[in-house]
């Protein structure tokens, strides 16, 4: 792409302002749109946004510097990023990246002199069940092999727009292998929301409390308590935030929930809004899943048309709530709730000191509930079918089910839902793991289990997990995993090593 003219940039910024408005909270969304359009954020755009949004150029440059998917210099017409989780490595991503670099005559991370292409690695893109994977201009390409890479090189050399690349390259499968309490029921009849409106917010909260539901994003905080604290917090406006950042290496279950259970997730958010008294909500979606935006926007539009979002929801005067989607731009730390809120406010995703916690001081300093995608899904079903229904599964300390993202050396990678309390060996048997020497649970920051520990159980009291379950057979050098995770943490340094 030749350098954009000042006129082109000005016109695009004007369009972006018309779309998102002049609220500085939308700075990151403007920058993502610019990066996408021009393969970088041109200096002219920085100047324009500084004036229009009333923020300093330094703030804007600091944001660009922080997010891995934003750049001040052009990346090339085709910006290709190979997912570099350990599971991608086990499937040969490094060999394939070398092959593509050779075919295109580029060094990893260095734009080609003609501005056509950049090739490099990126952190896990959440496609471990169908890797090796890459992102091209933010769109996920799955199931790479030498033939596919060879063809991609041709498409890049010919300058073929992505719309004309083979559709099969962009197919992302759900790979749901085992359905349990939540996944067996994808019905979108808004029954949970209706139940809350019939019985009242107090009763809905009581069901969530009775269920014993704990957050599915990692920390396992009691969901009812979080909602209660937020409901009772002093302050005016309240907010509901769904954490769909899913950056933990090896985790991809939220991707599937967003694809096939989005209605239930939005319903859970709406119920939460009814309970805490929120009028606005956000879905914070990791940049790697931007291909899901049109689908999610369509679900939101349909829900508005059905009276399930917007003003006077289901005819109830005073119950107004709507949801906006905000994209991330390649920063693992933005999954941490306080960093996520900073990012929602358009800033670098730097963690806040806590307390105060988001329930009292979150988005723009207002009381805010942040929950994981799976938590909202579970909450919607709990309000529909009752806390006892949910408690009927799991263990005393871990009620309900857990959805696992299973990948690595297994015959059937994908999504598995189990009651809490399920032993690791049961999961290994179901997914077709032969001769496993280790299982890595809960991602890079989780636990590595040896075979002697395979009778341990998935539960908060034994093996808490956000859902990642990576299997390594006896042929693997476990130091490769350690090196990959060390590299991940060095790269995703939680912002502390960045300016």
Ligand X SMILES: Cc1cc2nc3c(=O)[nH]c(=O)nc-3n(C[C@H](O)[C@H](O)[C@H](O)COP(=O)(O)O)c2cc1C
Q: What are phi and psi of 496, to 5 degrees?
A: -75, -20
Only segment of 96-104, 311-319, 365-373, 482-490 that touches ligand X (CB under 6 A): 365-373
Place of tokens 């056509």: 116
Question: According to CB under 6 A, which one of 192, 215, 330, 362 is a site residue for ligand X?
Answer: 215
DSSP secondary structure letters along 460-481: TTSB--SSEEEEEETTS-HHHH
Question: Min. distance of Cβ 380 from ligand X in angstroms?
Answer: 13
**Looking at residue 458, what DSSP letter applies?**
B
Question: Min. distance of Cβ 359 from ligand X in angstroms?
Answer: 11
Only segment of 20-28, 125-133, 243-251, 382-390 that touches ligand X (CB under 6 A): 243-251
342 is a site residue for ligand X (CB under 6 A): no
How far apart, in whole angstroms, are the C-alpha atoms of residue 378 and residue 398?
A: 13
CA angle 337, 340, 341 (to 5 degrees): 90
Tell me, by CB under 6 A, how many residues bind ligand X. 19
How far apart, in whole angstroms, are the C-alpha atoms of residue 159 and residue 78?
A: 9
372 is a site residue for ligand X (CB under 6 A): yes
Residues 248-277 that bind ligand X (CB under 6 A): 248
Only segment of 31-39, 53-61, 65-73, 244-252 that touches ligand X (CB under 6 A): 244-252
x/- track of binding to ligand X for residues 374-413 (CB under 6 A): -x--------------------------------------
219 is a site residue for ligand X (CB under 6 A): yes
Per residue, the 3-state secondary structure of 70-127, as one string, reads CCCCCCCCEEEEEECCHHHHHCCHHHHHHHHHHHHCCCCCCCCCCCCEEEEEECCCCC
Question: According to CB under 6 A, which one of 165, 170, 221, 460 is a site residue for ligand X?
Answer: 221
C-alpha atoms less than 13 angstroms from C-alpha of 102 in its C-beta half-sphere: 9
247 is a site residue for ligand X (CB under 6 A): yes
446 is a site residue for ligand X (CB under 6 A): no
Q: Give me the residue whose beta carbon is nearest to ligand X.
A: 215
* Residue (197 or 292) nearer to ligand X, CB: 292
x/- track of binding to ligand X for residues 175-214 (CB under 6 A): ----------------------------------------
* Residue (129 or 409) nearer to ligand X, CB: 129
**Looking at residue 14, what DSSP letter applies?**
H
**Residue 314: which H helix or E strand, with range?**
none
* Residue (101 or 383) nearer to ligand X, CB: 383
Angle between helices 93-104 and 146-157 (to 10 degrees): 30
Question: Min. distance of Cβ 381 from ligand X in angstroms?
Answer: 14
Only segment of 87-95, 104-112, 135-143, 335-343 that touches ligand X (CB under 6 A): 335-343
Question: Min. distance of Cβ 218 from ligand X in angstroms?
Answer: 4
Question: According to CB under 6 A, which one of 53, 60, 327, 333 is a site residue for ligand X?
Answer: 333
Residue 363 CB contacts under 8 Å (≥ 6 apart), including other chains:
239, 241, 282, 341, 344, 345
Q: Is-contact 186 260, C-beta < 8 A?
A: yes
Residue 455 CB contacts under 8 Å (≥ 6 apart), including other chains:
423, 424, 425
The site for ligand X (CB under 6 A) is made up of 215-219, 221, 243, 245-248, 333, 335-337, 370-372, 375
């Amino acid at each position: 792409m030749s350098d954009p003219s000042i006129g082109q940039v000005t016109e695009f910024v004007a369009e972006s302002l018309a779309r998102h408005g002049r609220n500085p909270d939308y700075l990151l969304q403007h920058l993502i749109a610019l990066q996408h359009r021009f393969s970088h954020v041109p200096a002219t755009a920085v100047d324009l946004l500084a004036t229009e949004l009333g923020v300093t150029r330094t703030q804007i440059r600091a944001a660009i510097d922080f997010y891995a998917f934003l750049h001040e210099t052009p990346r090339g017409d085709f910006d290709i990023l190979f997912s570099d989780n350990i599971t991608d490595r086990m499937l040969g991503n490094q060999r394939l990246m070398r092959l593509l670099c050779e075919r295109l005559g580029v060094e990893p991370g260095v734009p080609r002199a003609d501005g056509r292409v950049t090739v490099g690695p990126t952190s896990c893109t959440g496609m471990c069940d169908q890797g090796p994977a890459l992102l091209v201009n933010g769109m996920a390409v799955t199931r790479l092999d030498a033939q596919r890479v060879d063809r991609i090189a041709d498409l890049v050399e010919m300058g073929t727009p992505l719309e004309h690349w083979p559709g099969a390259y962009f197919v992302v499968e759900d790979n749901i292998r085992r359905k349990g309490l939540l996944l067996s029921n994808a019905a979108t009849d808004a029954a949970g929301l209706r139940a809350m409106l019939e019985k009242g917010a107090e009763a809905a909260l009581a069901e969530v409390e009775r269920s014993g539901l704990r957050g599915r994003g990692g920390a396992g905080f009691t969901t009812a308590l979080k909602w209660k604290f937020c409901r009772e917090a002093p302050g005016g406006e309240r907010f509901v935030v769904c954490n769909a950042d899913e950056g933990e290496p090896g985790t991809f279950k939220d991707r599937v929930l967003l694809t096939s259970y989005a209605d239930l997730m939005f319903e859970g958010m709406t119920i939460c809004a009814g309970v805490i008294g929120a009028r606005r909500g956000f879905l914070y979606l990791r940049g790697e899943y931007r291909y899901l935006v049109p689908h999610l926007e369509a679900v939101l539009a349909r829900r508005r048309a059905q009276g399930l979002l917007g003003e006077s929801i289901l005819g109830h005067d005073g119950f107004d709530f709507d949801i906006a989607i905000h994209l991330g731009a390649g920063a693992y730390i933005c999954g941490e709730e306080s960093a996520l809120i900073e990012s929602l406010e358009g800033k670098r995703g730097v963690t806040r000191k806590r307390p105060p916690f988001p329930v009292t001081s979150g988005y723009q300093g207002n009381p805010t509930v942040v929950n994981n995608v799976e938590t909202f899904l579970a909450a919607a079903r709990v309000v529909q079918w009752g806390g006892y229904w949910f408690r009927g599964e799991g263990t005393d300390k871990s009620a309900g089910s857990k959805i696992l993202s299973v990948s690595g050396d297994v015959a059937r990678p994908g999504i598995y839902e189990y009651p809490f309390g399920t032993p690791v060996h049961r999961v290994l048997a179901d997914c077709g793991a032969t001769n496993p020497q280790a299982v890595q649970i809960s991602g890079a920051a989780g636990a590595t289990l040896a075979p002697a520990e395979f009778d341990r159980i998935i539960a908060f009291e034994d093996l808490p997990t956000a859902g990642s379950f990576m299997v390594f057979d006896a042929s693997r050098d476990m130091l490769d995993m350690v090196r990959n995770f060390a590299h991940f943490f060095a790269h995703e340094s939680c912002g502390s090593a960045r300016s």
